[in-house]
Amino acid sequence: MIIGVPKEIKNNESRVSVTPAGVKELVANGHKVYVQHTAGEGSGFPDEDYVKAGAEILPTIEDTYAIAEMIVKVKEPIEPEYKLVKPGQIVFTYFHFASDRALTDAMIASKAVCIAYETVRDRQGALPLLVPMSEVAGRMSVQEGARFLEKPQGGKGKLMGGVPGVKPAKVLILGGGVVGRNAALMAAGLGADVTITDISLPTLRHIAEVMPKNVKTLFSSRHNIESELPTTDLVIGSVLIPGAKTPHLITRDMLKFMTPGTVLVDVAIDQGGCFETSVPTKHDAPIYEVDGIVHYAVANIPGAVPYTSTLALTNATLPYAVRIANMGWQKACQADKGLAEGVNIVDGKIHFKGVAEAFDLPFTPLAL
C-alpha cells in the first residue's frame, strides 16, 4: 500500500503521525511511504531520518495526498485539505466528527474511508488510540491551569500547592476517566486540594483506592457541582462520550457561583466541550473571559508538547496502521471488530451512530 504522511497545518500543531521508526516498520512490511517535507521537524524528526528509514520526501501537501492510498494524520483535515481527500482513500486520524458539521459534510462529500482514532476499541472495550493523548491532555490541563491561575494571566494569583501556613488551590475535576485520573495525579503531585467527580460508583471507588490522600471523590450531579464551585479555583472538564457530543456539565448560569479569576480548562472541547460557554481556542490565543471566569479551550492541547505526544501516539497507532496496510481496511476490520468501530464514514455514508445523531443525519450500519 502507498502511505502518505502530510505535515499538520492546524494552528501550532507540531505532532507527526508516523516517526522514522514507524516508516521502517511499514517499509519492512512491503509498503511505500511518502512523507511531506518537514512533516516531522516540529517533533524532532528531520527529513534525513525518514529517508534513512526508507521513506521518500515530497515537497507539498498536495503531492502527498495525491499519491497516497492511505493518509495517516494526527488531527482532522482542516478546510484547505478537504479538496485533497480522494474517493476511496483511507484517512486514518483523529476526526471528532460530532463537534464539526463542516468536516462531517466535507468527508461525506469526499467519499473517502474515514477511520477515527478516537472510536477504535480494544478487546476490553477501552479506547486504545485515545488513551495516550488523554494521558498527555490530562497532565497538561493541570500544567496550563496552574499557569493561568497566576495573576498576570488573569487568574486569582494562587499557587497550586500553597506554602506552609497558606492553603493550596482547590481543583475540581469533572470525569474520572483517563484524562481525569491523569489530571488528578498531576494536581495532587503539586499539592492541590483535589476533588474528582463521576457518575460511576465503581470508578470512584477505584480512584479512592489508588489516588493520594489529597484527592477526594464526589458523585457527579448538578447539585454537587454547584456546591463545589464557590470555593473552587480550577475546574477541569474531562467528560467523554466516545464519538458523540459532550454534555454541558457547567452552564452559563452556573458561572455566577464562581469567584472572578477562577480558571476553566475544557479538555472535552474536541467533542464540543463540557462547559456551555466554551468555544475552541488555539495555542497562540488560548484563553478568554466570560463574566470574569478564565476559559482555556485549546482543541489540540497535546500539540504543545509534540515530542512526547508524537511518541506516545505512534506507539499506539502504528500497529493498527500496519494492519490496515497489510490487509486492506475491510479485511482488517473483519478480523478486528474493535477497529471496525473506528470506521465513521465510508463512501458518503455515516457508520458511527454518535455522529449521525449529532447532526440528525442518516445512519447506516457498517457491512463488511
Per-residue DSSP letter, 275 = B
> 225 and 354 in one domain?
no
- Cβ contact 34:58 at 8 Å: yes
DSSP of 156-215: ----TT-BTTBPPPEEEEE--SHHHHHHHHHHHHTT-EEEEEES-HHHHHHHHHHS-TTE
Is 125 contained in some domain? Answer: no
Q: Which residue has the cell 488531527?
A: 75
pLDDT at 11: 84
Is 364 contained in some domain? Answer: no
- List the catalytic residues: 96, 270
pLDDT in tens, 147-177: 999 999 999 999 999 999 999 999 999 999 9
- Is the pLDDT reported for residue 7 higher than 90? yes
Q: What is the domain count for the chain? A: 2
> 332 and 289 in one domain?
no
Residues composing the chain: 368
pLDDT in tens, 239-298: 988 777 888 999 999 999 999 999 999 999 988 899 999 999 999 999 999 999 999 999
Report the alpha-carbon angle 54-300-128, nearest 5. 65
pLDDT at 145: 98
- Cβ contact 238:133 at 8 Å: no
> 165 and 56 in one domain?
no
Is 266 contained in some domain? Answer: yes
Is 268 contained in some domain? Answer: yes
Collapsing DSSP to helix, strand or coil, 289 comes out as strand
- Cβ contact 186:143 at 8 Å: yes
C-alpha of 347 from chain center: 25
pLDDT at 270: 87
365: which residues sit within 8 A by CB, 6+ positions away?
351
Is 126 contained in some domain? Answer: no
Nearest CA to 138 among 170, 169, 168, 175? 175
Full residue range of the structural domain in which residue 48 is found = 2-120+306-359
Is 68 contained in some domain? Answer: yes
pLDDT at 240: 81
Can you tell me the mean pLDDT for 310-331?
97
- Is the pLDDT reported for residue 62 higher than 80? yes
pTM of the predicted model as reported, rounded to 2 decimal places: 0.89
pLDDT in tens, 180-229: 999 999 999 999 999 999 999 999 999 999 999 999 999 999 999 999 99
β-pair partners for 3? 33, 70
Is 108 contained in some domain? Answer: yes
